[in-house]
Amino acid sequence: MALENNPMWNGGTSFEPYTADFNESFKERIRSRDNYCCVLCNTQQSNLDKALHVHHVNYDKSNSIKQNCASLCNSCHSRTNINRSSWILFFQNLLKERYGYQYNEKQMIILDFNKKKEMEF
């Protein structure tokens, strides 16, 4: 089956490179914010063989900001590759509830540049 005909095909976005700001320091801050737990199953990083993955909520690797990232164990991260639109909504609701992040009805991140805290990490 050709890649383009596979139901999981998403235009080749998985081959796009991550941005320079998606580095180990940034990922560590996301894990710390999430208390070193998978936001789906609550497995603690200390109980895993590897560090928690940092998932881009809207699947856009060029959008590496705290409002678009969540900590996931490998098992849960693999579950997020189907029904992506449902997962985007799920994670945005979770991050809104936990951290007060804001998103509009088109699932776009709303940033308030007047709030210094929102821009810091």
Asked if residue 55 has pLDDT above 50, the reply is yes
Mean pLDDT value of segment 39-65: 97
User: In degrees rounded to 5, what are phi and psi of residue 55?
Assistant: -95, 135
| Contact of 94 with 67, CB cutoff 8 Å | no
- Select the more confidently predicted residue: 105 or 94: 94
pLDDT at residue 62, rounded to an integer: 94
Instruction: Name the pLDDT band for 96 (thresholds 50, 70, 90).
Output: very high
The DSSP code for 89 is H
Residue 59: CB atoms within 10 A of its CB come to: 17
Please report, rounded to a whole number, the percentage of residues in the chain having pLDDT higher than 90: 74
Q: How far is CA 114 from CA 68, 83, 90, in A?
A: 19, 35, 27
Q: Where are the domains of the chain?
A: 20-119
pLDDT in tens, 11-28: 555 557 889 999 999 999
